[in-house]
Amino acid sequence: MIAPLAAAWLVALLIGAGVFGLLIGSFLNVVAYRVPAGLSIVSPPSACPGCGGRIRPYDNIPVLSWLILRGRCRDCGEPISARYPVVEAVTGVFFVAVAVMAAPALATAASTQSTVAAVLQLVAFLYLAAVSVVLAAIDIDTRTLPNAIVLPSAFVGIVLLSASALLAQRPGALLTAVTGMIGLFLFYLIVALVSPRGMGFGDVKLAGVLGWYLGFLGVGPLLVGAFAAFLLGGLFGIVLLVTGRAGRKSGIPFGPWMLAGAWIGVVAGGPLWSSYLALVGLT
């Protein structure tokens, strides 16, 4: 009985995370468009930019509505960007991946206190996943990382993960989280001051947020995540130079690579760091 119940619980968790991610992804499309434009994310309701017609609830089902409508407005036939279902689908997959990573801690929690700690950590990283999607989209579009998103992310991450660490009796996680936040913030600040055309202060503030999350997971995820951002960004820049799509003085949004690198640190930072230490003979 235990194995079937455990399997059913896991399936329910993953389905719930996926559906929730799709819904959040739909909202992130609104955020990605309205926040840079200085518009309210609450009102007015979503409407077609071509004819101004309100989007009906049954035409606002993540991914499915876009497919049914064949990517066009029901009223005027105006094309609807494929980015809308892509953002929704990516967020859904992202949430499932985060749930998979959190499942072992939830399944092995031995007390109510440890269960709450695991849930708080899950919520914190789901929040980071949503923020990662919307910030990457905004930075690609506008080359900005709005304070309205970055700063609340720091607050949410600090509150949720601090509570999780205290409940789980993991003071060391808070120490490395603080170290990661301060360390990455200062490092990016120095880079921004030395090369203001290559690094913006939005990147600096985001670095502090990512440093907190990565540091909470440990030294390995922190260092791997920080290194991976520059590796990915550098490789992308080389590809653009080689293909002639950018020059040496061209600016590229670095936020998406910071976020991608951070998630490499979250997912594989611990094993990669351990493998590196073994390779150089330090373990």
3-state DSSP of 71-85: CECCCCCCECCCHHH
Residue 182 has pLDDT above 90, yes or no: yes
Please state the rounded mean pLDDT for residues 239-263. 85
pLDDT on residue 283: 73
CA-atom Rg of the chain in angstroms: 20
Residue 111 DSSP one-character state:
S
Give Cα separations from 264 to 163, 210, 222, 226, 229 (angstroms).
Answer: 24, 12, 10, 9, 9
Please state the rounded mean pLDDT for residues 141-150. 95
pLDDT on residue 248: 67
Residue 5 has pLDDT above 80, yes or no: no
DSSP string spanning 124-154? HHHHHHHHHHHHHHHHHHHS---HHHHHHHH
Residue 249 has pLDDT above 80, yes or no: no
pLDDT bracket for residue 3 (50, 70, 90): low
The backbone region for 143, taken as left when phi is positive above 0, alpha when psi lies in -120 to 50, beta otherwise, is left
Residue 249 DSSP one-character state:
T
Choose between 75 and 2: higher pLDDT: 75
Please state the rounded mean pLDDT for residues 165-190. 97
User: Which residue from 32, 76, 70, 72 is spatially nearest to 51, judged by alpha carbons?
Assistant: 76
Residue 263 has pLDDT above 70, yes or no: yes
Q: Which two tokens stand for residue 282?
A: 């330090």
pLDDT bracket for residue 51 (50, 70, 90): confident
pLDDT bracket for residue 39 (50, 70, 90): very high
pLDDT on residue 1: 40
Residue 86 has pLDDT above 90, yes or no: yes
pLDDT on residue 45: 85
User: Could you report the per-residue pLDDT of 96-127, keeping only the tens digit for each?
Assistant: 999 999 999 998 888 999 999 999 999 999 99
For residue 176, give the amino acid letter: T
Q: Which two tokens stand for residue 126?
A: 């789901």
Helix (H, G, I), strand (E, B) or coil at 107: helix
Phi, psi of 78 (to 5 degrees): -60, 135
Residue with tokens 């064949």: 70
Residue 130 has pLDDT above 90, yes or no: yes
Tell whether pTM > 0.85. Answer: yes
Instruction: Residue 13: count other Cβ atoms within 10 Å of its Cβ.
Output: 18
Lowest mean pLDDT among 44-53, 95-104, 262-271: 44-53
pLDDT on residue 124: 98
pLDDT on residue 2: 46
Choose between 169 and 199: higher pLDDT: 169
Q: Exposed, middle or buried: residue 53 (CB in 10 Å: 0-12, 13-18, 19+)?
A: middle
Residue 6 has pLDDT above 80, yes or no: no
